[in-house]
Amino acid sequence: NMVNWESRTSELPTSDVITAIETSPFDENIVYLAQQTRVYKSTDKGLSWENISINMSNIQINSIAYYKNSQEGLYLGTDIGVFYKDALMDEWMSFGNGMPASAKVTELEFYYEPEDVQGDLLRAATYGRGTWSSPPFIGTLEADFTASETEISAYCSVDFTDLTIGSPFEWSWSFPRGTPSYSTERNPEGIRYDEAGAYTVTLTVTNPLGMDSKQKVDYIHVSEAQAPAIAFQADQQAGCTGMQVQFADLSENCPDTWTWSFEPDSYTFVDGSSANDQNPLVQFNEDAEYTVSLTASNPAGTNSLTLENYIHTGGEGIPFEADFEAQTLGETGWTIENPDGNKTWALSNDGDEYGVWMNFFNYTSMGARDYLISPVLNFRNFDQAFLNFDYAYAQRYMQKDSLIISISDDCGESWERVYANGPDGEGVFETAEPTTAFFEALDADEWCGQGYGAPCPMIDLSAWAGKSNIQIRFETYCNYGNNLYVKNVSVSNITGQKLIELSDECLIYPIPATNQLRVVLADHGEKTHIQITDLAGRVFANQQFKDESISIDLSDMANGSYLIIISRGEKVFNRKFIISR
């Protein structure tokens, strides 16, 4: 599978050389980093950092190792030996344990004995002093645990997680009236409770230093059994024809049987999954709108949920508006191709709106090209389509960077250029006065169409109307000039009209909707037109009104994804929403 990388260089705590990095084996958001003599912890994938060096003053750190059979037991390999700290400790302690004094440790790794935690070993490579091994640190036990849930309905299961401090070697769990009622696993899963009531849980742990127990009285509360409340989601709803979709059952009340169905029937279960799996992987083979149904049961009953036109093969319907309000570009559905691994497209925020930008000012790789590629779009059922976007660019000296836009109708297998532009010193591309300073585009009049230089582009894509599997690619050519900013990217079948943020002037609720959708406008008196379509462009509602608010009857519309389009004068608002009953 392809892995998408996001740069975290600008968020590093210092500019010092990175000498070690380690991730938590339990939480994908947690990472540890050493920069020469300091060690840091991040709980948000490197967006921010906490200095946890404490008493590690001016000691070169070469390696970090996380011992997974502990509570955040961290080992540091340094120029003067090994140091240790866990979640209960206030500072780092020396962990020589027979190693030569002041040995320079260059690498730490753990060996985990498959059958018995007592066989685990920490191994250390040193500079010129050989390779050493030691059992991990063992401390006085303080038993504790947590449960995945403490409020459940009958026939549901609970997973338990050991939180003991001190590295236990053995675990003994007691679950009176649970199934099973006893476990020696470190983190037992699937403990089932079939009757309503309050249940006590006890954990006893041991290691060579002793024993400790933790009992939580009436810890698990079980209510009467209920039939499943059906819910599910897909890891993607729109994509190329032939895309594979991972479904996830989100039903409440613990179903134990599942039946999935899809219409039309041009689909295939893959990787050994089937219609009766809880979370099947499904390939959709036709350019179509697929309806998805899930029926699930438990001993208390059976329920079903159907979402009409839930999966859109061939791409997401238009109108489409890019949403760059995210922590990473990967979360937006856009992808990056960065051939030289250097500077590339990144998210931007000018204080009012979110967008993307290219740092040409500090990009010395002359001739480098970087690509920003849209999600897959579908122009089916439309006879015209237009791409609109705002951009800002100021020239530096005589350097000329370029912006090129291409389109693909085969999910990126081939591309056709539809736009190419760059500065000429006469304002054909520039949107602000030339400057030798780092261009930031913080003022509205520095953007296209605001009085200096170039207007905002509107690119006619009607030659691809009626087609599916469409992608749009923003390509930059670096000539070590000045920065380029792009925002308000939209594709619609409306000539020359910009799609404006719905939240600016309009409120829509409830979302998800059931049988009624209410629209409230900030101003009233001007005639407003409302249209509701599905994502294939089929119209389900057309209404006009002048009042401050209106309620729209959805009772005849099936569950699924829809688009509401609100037009007032030259402004057009749109938002996707789901009907789910």
For residue 3, the number of C-alpha atoms closer than 13 Å in the C-beta half-sphere is 2
pLDDT at position 498 over 60: no
pLDDT, tens digit (0-9, with 9 covering 90-100), for 324-365: 888 888 888 899 999 988 899 999 886 677 899 999 999 988
pLDDT band at 501 (very low <50, low <70, confident <90, very high): very low
Q: Element (H or E) spanning 20, and its range?
A: strand 20-23
In the DSSP assignment, the letter for residue 156 is E
- CA 473, 479, 485, 490: dihedral to nearest 10 degrees? -20
Q: Determine the distance from the C-alpha atom of residue 251 to the mean position of all C-alpha atoms in its chain, rounded to a whole number.
A: 22
pLDDT band at 495 (very low <50, low <70, confident <90, very high): low
Spell out the domains of the chain, with CATH numbers in brackets: 9-134 (2.130.10.10), 145-223 (2.60.40.10), 232-313 (2.60.40.10), 317-498 (2.60.120.200), 501-579 (2.60.40.3080)
Q: Which residue has the higher pLDDT, 6 or 158?
A: 158
What's the mean pLDDT in 123-145?
A: 94
Residues pairing with 173 in the sheet: 183, 203
Whole-angstrom CA distances from 133 to 20, 174, 217 are 20, 35, 42
pLDDT band at 499 (very low <50, low <70, confident <90, very high): very low
Q: Nearest Cα to 241, choosing from 407, 376, 408, 385?
A: 376
Do 84 and 93 contact (CB within 8 A), yes or no? yes
For residue 356, the number of C-alpha atoms closer than 13 Å in the C-beta half-sphere is 26
In the DSSP assignment, the letter for residue 448 is T
In the DSSP assignment, the letter for residue 464 is G
pLDDT, tens digit (0-9, with 9 covering 90-100), for 240-256: 999 999 999 999 999 99
pLDDT band at 504 (very low <50, low <70, confident <90, very high): low
Tokens coding 56: 């590690």
Pairing state between β 539-545 and 506-509: unpaired
pLDDT at position 97 over 80: no
Q: Which residue has the higher pLDDT, 273 or 508?
A: 273
pLDDT, tens digit (0-9, with 9 covering 90-100), for 416-474: 999 988 887 666 788 888 899 999 988 888 888 876 767 788 888 989 999 999 999 99
